[in-house]
Amino acid sequence: MSTSTSPTSVTSRTTDAGPERPVAGTPEVALTVDVDGVATNYHDVGSGDPVVLIHGSGPGVTAWANWRLTLPELGTRFRVLAPDVLGFGYTERPEGVSYGMEAWTRHLLGFLDALGLDRVRLVGNSFGGALALSVATRAPERVERLVLMGSVGVPFEITPGLDAVWGFEPSLPAMRSLLDVFAWDRSLLTDDLARSRLEAATRPGVHEAYRSMFPAPRQHAVDAMTLDEEAIHSIAVPTLVVHGRDDRVIPLANSLRLLELIDRSQLHVFGQCGHWVQIEHAAEFTRLVGDFLA
């Protein structure tokens, strides 16, 4: 979930994977790269050491919606890439795909391979935190530093907020109610925002894919994204854990547990902040993450 804003410029690149082409229209659509036969939409800004941003799993989410405030600022210090994860946003949704951590991990590693990125800094938000943990434990040689924000990946009882997010059925009142769950700062929660996110969540094929990812009872989805704690404990790279104190979607206890499990970790908690740290505290978040990744 995120708000909308004016687009940042995105520069087309050519890599060994072939030409990547900007697509006209919404700023949520940027470049396309073939990842094992899946046309994958992604943003690519800045230059320098590569940082990959992995979005969360709110209805209608895209990399742009999640990271549109982070991309231009972090892009002044790094090359920042933000893909639409398999099944989300404007990345192709192949027929018959079985969504789950195995498929999402393969897709993200394939994305790195397609762009020739041997080693990256990973930033994962919520669902994206579990995916970042999966990559960091499955292919540790690919990860140089790790940031986990409001992350899934350790055992917890599903919150009413997350159950509502994953169980979303499209309507304007339901979307307005979800916005109340995501943000501590109610000034962000406008009717225009609710309408725009509902439109994103109801594009052809989007909600059908989303519903298949998180069927009831949704505690099963939490459990399926939970990594073995010994594997998490094996993570040896410097790790920054970030959380909003007032998060109603993912409990703060998750980040406290990650702090305990990962030896080279530190935790920063933002007060007066819900699940949208990167939006509600955009400048402070980007500065904190940028300094850590540097």
Each residue of 140-154: pLDDT tens digit? Answer: 999 999 999 999 999
pLDDT level of residue 20 (50, 70, 90 thresholds): very low
Q: Are 293 and 145 in contact (CB under 8 A)?
A: yes
The yes-or-no verdict on residue 21 having pLDDT over 50 is no
Q: Look at residue 262 in the predicted model and tell me its pLDDT.
A: 98
pLDDT level of residue 188 (50, 70, 90 thresholds): confident
Active site residues per annotation: 126, 247, 275
Q: Classify the phi-psi angles of 48: left when phi > 0, otherwise alpha if psi is within -120 to 50, otherwise beta.
A: left
Buried b (16+ CB within 10 A) or exposed e, 104-130: bbebbbbbbebbebeebbbbbbbbbbb
Q: What is the pLDDT of residues 273-286, one digit of tens each?
A: 999 999 999 999 99
Q: Look at residue 199 in the predicted model and tell me its pLDDT.
A: 93
CA 50 to chain centre: 16
The yes-or-no verdict on residue 4 having pLDDT over 90 is no
Distance CA 157, CA 200 (A): 29
The yes-or-no verdict on residue 241 having pLDDT over 50 is yes
Q: Look at residue 201 in the predicted model and tell me its pLDDT.
A: 94
Q: What is the pLDDT of residues 44-79, one digit of tens each?
A: 999 999 999 999 999 999 999 999 999 999 999 999
Q: What DSSP designation does 272 have?
A: S
Q: What phi and psi, each to the nearest 5 degrees, are found at residue 154?
A: -115, 160
The amino acid at 63:
A
The yes-or-no verdict on residue 159 having pLDDT over 90 is yes
CA triple 132-152-122, angle to 5 deg: 20
Cis preceding-peptide flag for 217 (omega within 30 of 0): yes
Report the mean per-residue pLDDT for the chain. Answer: 91
Residue with tokens 């509902």: 198
Q: Look at residue 3 in the predicted model and tell me its pLDDT.
A: 33
Region 98-120: what's the mean pLDDT? Answer: 97
Q: At 194, list the tokens.
A: 């609710």
Q: What phi and psi, each to the nearest 5 degrees, are found at residue 21?
A: -125, 130
